[in-house]
Each structure stands twice: as C-alpha cells, then as structure tokens.
Structure 1
C-alpha cells in the first residue's frame, strides 16, 4: 500500500483538516510532517467542532495512528493542552506517536519571535509569534533542542546553556529584554519529559515498517504551497517545507513510496499575514465572503484576507507538488452570489502572464485578469453527487478543474464530515 501526501494548494486554511478526516477512517497512519502550532484545522463530526493546532487530524479517527513527524516543531505546553482538551471531551489520544527527532520550541524562541516581529515594524512578515521561525532557524544553525534531548538532562542543560550564551546577548543588547535563566528553561522542558516519553519513537522506522506491512500512510501538511519556505511568496512564508517534497524530509519516507499527491483548494481564496495576494477583495464583498465562510484563524482568531479563486496559483501548486487530485472545499459559501469572478491570468506592466511570474517584485504588481461565471441560488449543502448540484454550480466546478492542472476528485459542500461529493476515490 502507498504513502499519500495531502497539501494545501493556496495560502493555507483550505480545509485540509476535513480532507484528512475524510480519509482518516480508511488509512492506518496520519503523519504531520511540517510546521507547528502556528496553523490549525477545524473538523466537524456529527455537529461537534474540533479545533486542532499541533495534533495530526487523524487523532479523531479511532482506527488510525496519528504521528508527529521529525519535520514538526513542538510547543510542549500546547501539545499537552490539546491532548487534555480532547481527553476531556471523551476522545482517546493513546495512539499518538511523536518523533524523537522533532525539535522543541523553547521559551526563548517564543520571546525572540515576538520581539523581532515588533522590531521589524512596517517590514514585519505577519508571524504568529509562537516561536516557529526561530526554532527552525536554530535547527538549521544546529543549536536546536530535540525531543530526545529531554531524556538526557546533562545533554539538555549543556545545549540550553550554550544557546542562551548567544540568545541572551541578543535579547539584552539588541532588544533591551531581560536575560533568561538556564535553570528556568531546563526545568520547564524537563517538566514534560516523563509524560512525553511513552509517546516517543523512531518514527521513520515505524513508518517504513508500516508500509512494508501493507499499511496506508497519509502525510499531512501544515500551512500550504504559497507559504512554503522555498516555493512560496518569500519572505512572506512559513519556515518549513509545506509542499509534497517536504513530506519526505519531514517524515523519513522516501519519494519512491509516494503514490498520490492530494491538494486541497478552496472555491475562493484566503490568506493571513502580510504579502502579495492578487485577487484580494478590499471592499464589502470581501467582508461578506469572510463572514459567510467564517474566515477567522483557527489558531490565532485573526480575520483572513479574502479574494476570488486564483487559477495560476492552483496550476503552480499542481506543478510544484505533482498533484494527482484536488479536493475543492467550501463551494457552498459561494451560494447566492449572482456572479463569481475567477482569476485566469495576471497583467504585469501590460504583459499577460498565464503562470506565476518568476520574481517576487513582479508578483507584487500582478493585476488579476478575470473570467466571470454565473452564480446559483440553490442550497447545495445536501448534495452528494455532481448531478445534485445546480447547472451553474456544475459548470463552475468543471471550469476550475479545466484551468487548475489536475482533476477535482472531492467537492466539499459544508463543514460536516458527511458533506462531501466524491467523484473519484482518493485511495483507489
């Protein structure tokens, strides 16, 4: 059986949690391979809403093993807060597995993240201030704290001491902040060690053995293609690899084991934070779309910027990720609009671009070229086949499929687990 990658095709918040949950009962492992608690998934099961931030979406599927992979950065307080909240609602978390190689968000990372963003002023990138970027920077600088370090106090103390020799200089001399104490940081991290230990494993080996045994592994991305540190709108991106390539490095599964790449794309577009967003609506239509779609961050509560569907972005995501199937979400939110514009290309300094421009400077100047489609008034929340959709709605879906670079295999027509139209079996 294969490994399957599921990524976001836009700027995040496409509904990856629902897509993962839809597959969760039919796969054996769900692996979060990148990011941290700077993003979230909202899942609705039998009318009950669950907001997940750090835990893999598979945590809500009884027969699935949820795995936090080596590519994730972990805020221990958030991790156990989520676990406790789910257990309080009668949900089991006993199958959760955490990579020994995943990096820990230390308290100094969060402090530095917040003061750096404030210091940047108008040049800020819109970070959530949760220490994600500084933790990944420490990882690349080879001074990071990993999960396995919590089980060797001598090593942990040595690492924290070495790191704070540098970090405290930055905090005190550049940002005029109080230095952090080694003992306090070590004590904080060690306070979670005993509870974390039973969950920790060599997850790369675990997943290899699972695939060898014929199990199906779903690799779940945090954030999305346009926020990928290499292939997104740099520097207005996250600090990890949120594309299909990152699934391999963030899990230890080789690319030869990946059989399918599923990308989730919303029937319109949203993003949070700073950076270019060609189809952004800055008028009342944007407010209406935001309110209709409840476009407020699962983790931060921030209002999301809203805009029309961007076909060049979808085609770019299809190419970068090798998308085999799209899952189109939130189609129901467009119900009632008399007409629906779709960006089919960009005008940049009078030149038409059918694909993403090469440079960030060009993308900042991109003006959408729209094709407008007639809307529909009928309620589509109970539709379970393509034929159940109004004719104009069907035409909109087919147009998006034709211009986006891969087939649309699932259509979301509401927030519930059962509110989906399956055109092609994603696991067949």
Structure 2
C-alpha cells in the first residue's frame, strides 16, 4: 500500500503543495460563505426598506380626522310642516345644517369663495351622518347638539403632517385662511383623531376620506371561493390519476410536460383566455367574481396539480403494497390510504396556490375587474373588484390622501397573505408524517 506521506513527487498530504491547496480551498469556501451571508443581509435590508416604506405611509390610513360642530337640527330646514314624515326627513337638505354651523362658528366669513372653502373643511359624507341620526331619532329636530363629522381629505392630510404648513401658500392645497380656521377649531378641541372603521366597512369612493376596502375584500372572498371550489377538486383528482392510475405512455408524458409548462405561463395569458372563453363565448357578466374566479382557477390548477403529485409521490410504496396485499383495490388503496397521508402536502400546495391567486392583478384587468365599483357585491355575479385591483386603482389616483389608502390596503393584503402562508406551515407541521 502506498504511503502518501512518503511520495517522492511532493504530493503527500503533509507536503507544502498539498497544504497550500488545502488552504486555498478553505479560503474559497470562506469567501463563498461570506458572499452568501452578504446576499442574505442585502435581501433582508431591501425587504426592510420596502416594508418600512409601506408601513410608514400606510399606518395613518387606519386613523381619520373628525371635526366637532354644534349642529342645529332646524325645523325650518328639515320639517317645515312639523309632521315628521320619514320621506321628507330623508330628503331634507342636511348640508344646509353643516353650512349653518360653520357660519355660526366663523361669522366673519362673508365672501362666496371663502364660504365655499369654509364649507369644504367637512366631508360631504357628513350629510349622510346627520341624515342617519335624524332617521334613528326624529326627536333631534329642533335641538342643537355637538356632532363629530368626518373632515375633508385636505384637512386630514394637514393634521397628519402630509401637507407642510411652512410651504408658500401657492404651493399648498390648503390656503392660509383654511389653516387659520383649523387652528381655531383645534384650540377649541373640536378636532380629533379616531380609528377609521369606515376603511373596513365602506366601498370605493371618489372622495378619499370616504373610500374603503370592504367591496374589494368581499370581491376577493367570492373570487377565492370560486377558485377553491373549482381548482382544488379538479387539481387533486388530476394528480391522483396521473400519479396512481395513468399508464406511462407518450400521451400522458405530453400531458405532464404541458402541466409543468402551464405553471410557468405569464398570468396575463390566462386573463386573455378568460376574456375569450368566459366573456366572449360564454357571455358571463363582466367584472364579476365568477369570471375572475374561473380565470384564476385555470391559473392555479397547474400549481395545485404539481404540489399534489409531489405529496402523493412522497408517500412510501410500502403503504400501497400493504393495502393491495390485504385485498384492497387500486382505487381503495389510493383513496383510503395514500390520499389521507398526502393530504397535508396537498393542502399546503393549495393554500400557496390560493395565495398566488389572491395577489394577482393582470388576469383580472383583462376581464374588466378594473371598473370603479362603489357598492359592496352581494354575490358572485354582482360587479366587483378585488384587493390587488383596488390597490392599482388607488395608486393611479392624483389625490395625496389616496397614497395612504394604497399603502394601508397593501398592509391588509400582506396580512391576509401572511395568514394564509402561516396556515400552510401549520398544516404541514401538524399533519406531516416522517417515514
């Protein structure tokens, strides 16, 4: 046996050349390790910058400015006859009540242009608030009570610091007289911040202070409901057939290749497919969750099939052989023994596919779900939008207040995605089997 320590060509394991090569390999390995750590740190830094940018701009969307005014529910404005007819009370001029309250608060304001600016301190939503108060309690007519009313988006932006007071007046949306009025209201304690519950209960609106994500959330719910109702059973059944029953031939190999290729197709191609089939041929309603769900189900199917096949393949053959040895049929072995053991992995892949569908925008733009929808949908066939499309619409709006709405909606969407991925991890950890 040759002793490497005694070789004459200087290549023994104690030779200078061997030691130098070993040191060189170790230095190369350390450099690779440091590069890997630097790459991870860079990725985490960029992720932190992204999240900080979103959260720093979006947290203020969850609070809203309110202005307290002494509202006189004048009988001459609301109910001249004194009959308290609900129809007349509902159609009364409630904006006049707000204007009268602001006139009383600032009696020195006389010019028409200044009055119009003064009335703009309060959102147009205030009329709905007053109407609801009177309809719930007609006894308010003739009384004067302090009411907290939603401030306009410009007032809200000033109070949140997004409009700088130090800028020249010509460079500000809010002029000096408006700032003076706000200072008076603030000195009297008439301006306050409250949790913006309307952000989660209102639909979309042209007025930033009134806009909410309830319509988009409901639309996303109906869309995902359609996606899971179609893609999960079809995807799992396809995976079981291909993995457990399909013969190995060229036709099935072609199907497998096409499934793998479809998983890499750009999502907008599925949008074109949905436009051609579900709208132009099937004539389903445009901008409806049912069309969006069908389109996203086509996009999600390859992901679910691939994940389900991997989960089925991970089940040991001994399980199948034991079932068959005890007299079970191939179908019984697949559905009674293999499928339950593979279900945690299948559910994990399904949730990941649904998370992908929840964040998609391009396919839905192609089928018309980019329309402005103010009402909250009542079903899968009603016009609706979804969270990513709502974010897209708000990001394209010129008003400064929609910037925080966009970031706030992104935070909500990220929260849903994190919850869905956390559920996938929980299911995998709880039900996984180690062989």
TM tier, smaller: under 0.3
TM (norm. structure 2) is 0.21
